[in-house]
Amino acid sequence: MTLFRATVLDTPDDPFEGGALRAQEDCGLLVEGGVIVARGDFAELRALHPHADVIDLREGMVLPGLVDTHVHFPQVRVIGGLGMPLLDWLDQCALPEEMRLADVDMARGVARDFVTGLVDAGTTTALVFGSHFAPAVDVMFEAADLWGLRVTTGLVTSDRILPEPLLTTPQRAYEESRDLASRWHGKGRLRYAVTPRFSLSASDAILESCATTFREVEGSWFTSHVNENTAEVAEVAQLFGGAAYVDTYDHHGLLSPRSVLAHNVHPTDPELATLAARGASVAHCPTSNSALGSGLFPLRRHVEAGVQVAMGSDVGAGTGFSMLKEGLQAYFMQRLLGDVGLPLTSAHLLWLCTSAGARALGLGHEVGDLSVGKQFDAIWLLPQAGDPLAVGMGNAKSADDALSKVFALGTTSDIGGVWVGGDQIAAGRWRMPRRT
């Protein structure tokens, strides 16, 4: 048994529904078998468990492990391609790089870079957009398994518009997806995600093959893109006889509480109503939306329509793995929207980057906050003495204020430790996979 001693901040209750930040100084978290079995005042827990190993994290603060609900593994090496709208960026930046993953050795290196990026950013759970090549998806599952990360991913499928090496057929997509799922879905912390790239590059025939896989692989997830860019939305409407973008997925039964659609910057009200009725979630990716000029995310309309929203980094259109940066950019966006924006507090930002993501991925019973019964997935923020974040935290007026400073100033180099299921996988610049 291990007794962690720290200032612990988390959001067990939804701030969009009146929940507040939970902040506990000198908190004790007793962890056994990776699970938090007791929580309370450190001194009281220590008296009850005098033989537990104590890990003293009192300097800095402990937060739940961060949850990224939309991040592309093959794009880690093209982060930072600025100056283009979505369809040009895909043509010039993303797709040429993604074609290189046909080479499995290349894919292995990319997977290593990708997982390192997640771990260093304190992301312990992720819904990962995979590769168009099945062997590269294998490599991604292997890398996630090696580190013990909670990763849901799968084969990306498309049968039109993209460069020929990235295309498949509905039958081949089905066979390769079933094969990958049979080997990885439910293994340890891994799960399978049925992943048509977007309706622009997916005919009704391949969406139907996705629907078959989604039905047949019990507990699998569905993910894709929707309503990201106005030119893309217009092209999708043309290809599907004027259908609304959300409906192109809904017609095939792909929307459910196990579905996460990225972006949704330009939804209609009926589309929001459909997402809410299906219990599907939206991954809001603010640095990507800003970098590609996709638009300002209508968070208030999502919340008012009852659509669940979580956060995604959308690497590589997004500008990095840091969910703290995504939180800050989400805050900026809502400010820029003025009267139609939704003012966000630091508690909202933490909720969006932790509990909301866990819920969107159906993992809310296991991770997302640091309550008794949850897995000990956690990050330790430990800014260097004298750094702006250390100064800010040291002079914070309240826990909410300290957390605002974390979102305003925090970077991946402020993360002093990362734990998944009670196992420490990173400490400062040291990173430790489970086995080598």
Binding residues for ligand GUN, rule: CB under 6 A, are 72, 86, 90, 94, 197-198, 225, 228, 288, 314, 317
Instruction: Provide, rounded to whole angstroms, the least separation between the CB of residue 351 and ligand GUN.
Output: 24
Total residues at interface with Zn ion (CB under 5 A):
2
197 binds, among ligand GUN, Zn ion, none (CB under 5 to 8 A by kind): ligand GUN
314 binds Zn ion (CB under 5 A): yes
CA pair distance 316, 302, nearest whole angstrom? 25
User: Which is closer to ligand GUN, CB of 7 or CB of 195?
Assistant: 195
User: Which is closer to ligand GUN, CB of 33 or CB of 163?
Assistant: 163
DSSP 217: S
Please identify, among the stretches 183-191, 255-263, 273-281, 319-327, the one whose residues bind Zn ion according to the rule CB under 5 A: 255-263
User: Which is closer to ligand GUN, CB of 298 or CB of 316?
Assistant: 316
In the bound complex, which residue of the shown chain has the CB atom lying closest to Zn ion? Answer: 314
CA pair distance 145, 79, nearest whole angstrom? 24
Q: How far is CA 92 from CA 78, 83, 86, 227, in A?
A: 10, 11, 10, 21
Please identify, among the stretches 160-168, 211-219, 310-318, 391-399, the one whose residues bind Zn ion according to the rule CB under 5 A: 310-318
Instruction: Provide, rounded to whole angstroms, the least separation between the CB of residue 317 and ligand GUN.
Output: 4
HSE (side-chain half, CA atoms, 13 Å) at 47: 4
119 binds, among ligand GUN, Zn ion, none (CB under 5 to 8 A by kind): none
Residue 66 contacts by C-beta under 8 Å, 6 or more apart in sequence?
121, 122, 123, 124, 125, 323, 324, 353, 354, 357, 379
Instruction: Provide, rounded to whole angstroms, the least separation between the CB of residue 317 and Zn ion.
Output: 6
Q: 221-243 b/e with 16+ CB inside 10 Å = b? A: bbbbbbbbbeebbeebeebbeee
Instruction: Provide, rounded to whole angstroms, the least separation between the CB of residue 303 and Zn ion.
Output: 22
Q: In this structure, what token pair is assigned to residue 28?
A: 């004790």
Instruction: Provide, rounded to whole angstroms, the least separation between the CB of residue 197 and ligand GUN.
Output: 5
CA angle 338, 246, 313 (to 5 degrees): 60
Give Cα 177 distance to the centre of its chain: 22
User: Which is closer to ligand GUN, CB of 94 or CB of 155?
Assistant: 94
Find tokens 């590059």 and name the residue.
201
Instruction: Provide, rounded to whole angstroms, the least separation between the CB of residue 160 and ligand GUN.
Output: 13
Give Cα 411 distance to the centre of its chain: 17
Please identify, among the stretches 116-124, 259-267, 290-298, 363-371, the one whose residues bind Zn ion according to the rule CB under 5 A: 259-267
CA pair distance 250, 256, nearest whole angstrom? 9
Residue 42 contacts by C-beta under 8 Å, 6 or more apart in sequence?
3, 5, 26, 27, 28
97 binds Zn ion (CB under 5 A): no
Instruction: Provide, rounded to whole angstroms, the least separation between the CB of residue 2 and ligand GUN.
Output: 40
Binding site for Zn ion (CB under 5 A): 262, 314
